[in-house]
Structure 1
Amino acid sequence: MDLLETAAIFAAGIAAGGINTIVGSGSLITFPTMVALGFPPVVANVSNNIGLVPGSVTGAYGYRAELKGQRDRLLRLGTASLTGALAGAALLLGLPDRAFQFIVPALIVIALVLVVVQPRVQKWVLDRREHHRPHGGPWLWAGVLAAGVYGGYFGAAQGIVLIALLGIALDDDLQRINAAKNVLSAVVNGSAAVLFIGMQIFAGTRIDWTAVLLIAVGSTIGGLLGAKVGRRIPPLALRGVIVVVGLVALVTMLT
């Protein structure tokens, strides 16, 4: 890896860490960058996942003020993220490399539709709910589980999916929902990373540790910067950013 390639991966890590904290879809920067530099797709995917874990943690830390009062909610939903992430990571190691090219675009479209209609759907759900459920109920748990499977498998746009699900099911501020999304994304990325590292030790799964280090340092910086920016964005503007990033992600996957 020469100096230019090193700089490209590091810069992609910074951008991905920031975008993941604000919205999600940061993997659509780091993953294509690594593939363009000649990394095999599965090696790029696995190395990228591990490298983005520190960025997920710093992004969640940056939203610590918005996380106050969400401990019980996150413990409950975190079990869904953990379970789903391990299942998704196992699918990544077992399914053909090209499978996600057919799955991811459809998931991104669904997520964007949910984000756009979220305010009206949320109002409709809350108006018909007999009792307030601070944890969102069993349907949200199942949705977070499915998002965890997706995140463990590929990860790009999992933040968009989570924001859409949490925004519809929870009666809460969008910034607090984004904070919860960052924690759940960190659980997904961290759980999948542990499985990938274990598979390298016991089954020889290939991981490029130089790329992991570059993305890890870059995403750590990006996560902190993203939290500072994202916490100041009004809800309507944040929703607009989510839609724009999602559309860019969709175009990227289809071209």
Structure 2
Amino acid sequence: MDLSTAALLAASGLAAGLVNAIAGGGTFFTFSALVAAGLPPVVANATSAVAVTPANLSSAWAYRRELLANLRRFTALGLVSLSGGLIGAYILTVTDNASFRQLVPWLLLFATGLFAASPRIVGLARSVARHEGHAPSRQAWAAGLTFQFLVSIYGGFFGAGMGIVMLAALAITEGDDFHLINSAKHLCSTLIQLIAVVVFIQAGLVSWRETFIVGAASVVGGYLGVVYGRRLPAPVIRWLVIAIGAALTVWFFVR
């Protein structure tokens, strides 16, 4: 590996850690960089998932106060995230590179578009699931868990953009408190990736040299992202992620 490739991978890891900690979508950077470094798409996706897992743990630790305060509330979300992540990871292991390459831009487009529509999703979730001052109804809670299960399958299959989709899913069960949703997102995404990592390693899909470079940089970015993310208004974060997702979606369509 030459120095420029190593620098590209390190920069992508730092950027992924920062953006994942703030709102999600950071694995757009690592997946793109790993493909550019010459890894096959399926291996790049699995390697990216393994590499950013330490950053997710770092970010989850930075959100430990919110997680501990809501641990019982997040139990069901954690269980469906684990089961969905396992299914999604298995699907990736039986998908060939040519088919996966064709799916990538459409998956990115879906994730970015859904996140762009998240304010409307939050409004719809509120009108259906909540009466002012009350918790979501059982029907809304079940719908939110079902949505999270589907997001978890997507996350286990394709890590890039998982956080973007998950923020929209969590809006149904957790309302519009951004930092509460973000702490739940870190817990769920970490569980999804941990189970997926086990599957990917057993399937021999991980390129370890690239994993260590991206992973080390993403840990630094993950913690810094939480620190600075607390200081940024939610609309700024949302539009930043939309811009990043749109740019990388176009790039994968035209490459």
Structure-2-length-normalised TM-score:
0.88
> Separation in 2 of the partners of 1:33 and 1:155?
14
Report the Cα offset of residue 54 of structure 1: 0.0
Residue aligning to 2:66? 66
Residue aligning to 2:160? 156
Residue aligning to 1:190? 194
Residue aligning to 2:34? 34
Amino acid corresponding to residue 77 of structure 2 in structure 1: L
> Separation in 1 of the partners of 2:129 and 2:191?
28
Which 5+ residue runs of structure 1 have no aligned equivalent?
200-204
Tell me the SS of whatever aligns to 1:77: helix
Counterpart check, 1:252 vs 2:251 = yes
Amino acid corresponding to residue 19 of structure 2 in structure 1: I
In the TM superposition, 1:1-255 aligns within 5 A as: 1-97=1-97, 98-99=99-100, 100-101=103-104, 103-127=106-130, 132-133=135-136, 137-171=141-175, 173-199=177-203, 205-255=204-254
Equivalent residue pairs, number: 250
Aligned pair in 2 of structure 1 residues 103, 80: CA closer, same or farther (>3 Å)? farther
Whether the 8 Å CA contact 1:125–1:169 is kept in 2: the answer is no
Aligned pair in 2 of structure 1 residues 215, 134: CA closer, same or farther (>3 Å)? farther
Whether the 8 Å CA contact 1:114–1:165 is kept in 2: the answer is no
Amino acid corresponding to residue 114 of structure 2 in structure 1: A
1:32-80 deviation per Cα after TM superposition (whole angstroms, max 9, x unaligned): 1111121122221111111110011111111223334210122210111
Whether the 8 Å CA contact 1:47–1:208 is kept in 2: the answer is yes
Whether the 8 Å CA contact 2:24–2:161 is kept in 1: the answer is yes
> Separation in 1 of the partners of 2:137 and 2:56?
24
Report the Cα offset of residue 146 of structure 1: 0.8
1:3-57 deviation per Cα after TM superposition (whole angstroms, max 9, x unaligned): 2211211121111111111121212111111111211222211111111100111
Whether the 8 Å CA contact 2:28–2:245 is kept in 1: the answer is no
Residue aligning to 1:202? none
Report the Cα offset of residue 2 of structure 1: 1.8
Report the Cα offset of residue 150 of structure 1: 0.8
Tell me the SS of whatever aligns to 2:73: helix
Report the Cα offset of residue 229 of structure 1: 1.1
> Separation in 1 of the partners of 2:183 and 2:175?
14
Whether the 8 Å CA contact 2:17–2:217 is kept in 1: the answer is yes
Whether the 8 Å CA contact 2:156–2:196 is kept in 1: the answer is yes
**Which sits farther off after the overlay, 102-111 or 79-88?**
102-111
> Separation in 1 of the partners of 2:108 and 2:4?
31
Which 5+ residue runs of structure 2 have no aligned equivalent?
none
Whether the 8 Å CA contact 2:89–2:196 is kept in 1: the answer is yes
1:94-137 deviation per Cα after TM superposition (whole angstroms, max 9, x unaligned): 12323333640452255224313134224312455996249961
> Separation in 2 of the partners of 1:69 and 1:166?
17
**Which sits farther off after the overlay, 230-239 or 175-184?**
230-239
1:119-165 deviation per Cα after TM superposition (whole angstroms, max 9, x unaligned): 42243124559962499611111111111111111111110111111
Aligned pair in 2 of structure 1 residues 215, 133: CA closer, same or farther (>3 Å)? same
Amino acid corresponding to residue 155 of structure 1 in structure 2: G
Cα RMSD between the aligned structures? 2.3
> Separation in 2 of the partners of 1:109 and 1:233?
20
